[in-house]
Amino acid sequence: MEVVVIQPESYDEAQDICDHIKSQRPVIINLENMERNVAQRIMDFVSGSCYTLNGNLQRVTNNIFIIAPENVDVAGDFREELKSNGIILPWKTQED
C-alpha cells in the first residue's frame, strides 16, 4: 500500500489530495505551516470529498490529518503498515 504524505503550500493542492483518495491511496496531510484560513478551506474541500467517496478522515494532531479511502482500516492494518515503514503517529486508540 502506498501512503502519500502531503504538506500543501496552497489551496490549489486540495484537488490533488482528493485525487489520491479517489485512487484508493491514503493521505497524511500536514497543515502545520499553513495560514489558518487556507488550511480551513483545504479541509473543507477534502472533508466533503472524503464523505462523497465514503472515506475516513481522522485528526492525528491539531494540524495533521489522515484521510483514508473506504478500503483502508485506519485503526488496524493501516497503522501497522505505517509502523513497518517507520512512521509512528502520536495518537492512541483502544488497541494501544
Q: What's the pTM value of the predicted model, to 2 decimals? A: 0.75
The CATH classification of domain 4-84, taken from the options 2.60.34.10, 3.20.20.150, 3.40.1010.10, 3.30.110.150: 3.30.110.150
Per-residue pLDDT at 4? 92
Q: Where are the domains of the chain?
A: 4-84
Instruction: Name which residue leads in pLDDT, 88 or 70.
Output: 70
Q: Kindly write down the DSSP assignment for every residue of 24-39, as one continuous string.
A: T--EEEE-TTS-HHHH
Mean pLDDT, range 71-94, rounded to an integer: 62
SS3 47: helix
**b vs e for 54-63, b when ≥16 Cβ sit within 10 Å of the residue's Cβ?**
ebbbeeeeee
Torsion angle in degrees (nearest 10) through CA of 75, 77, 65, 53: -100
* Contact assessment for residue 91 and residue 62, using Cβ atoms and an 8 Å cutoff: no
Find which of 16-25, 56-65, 72-81 is predicted with most confidence, using mean pLDDT. 16-25
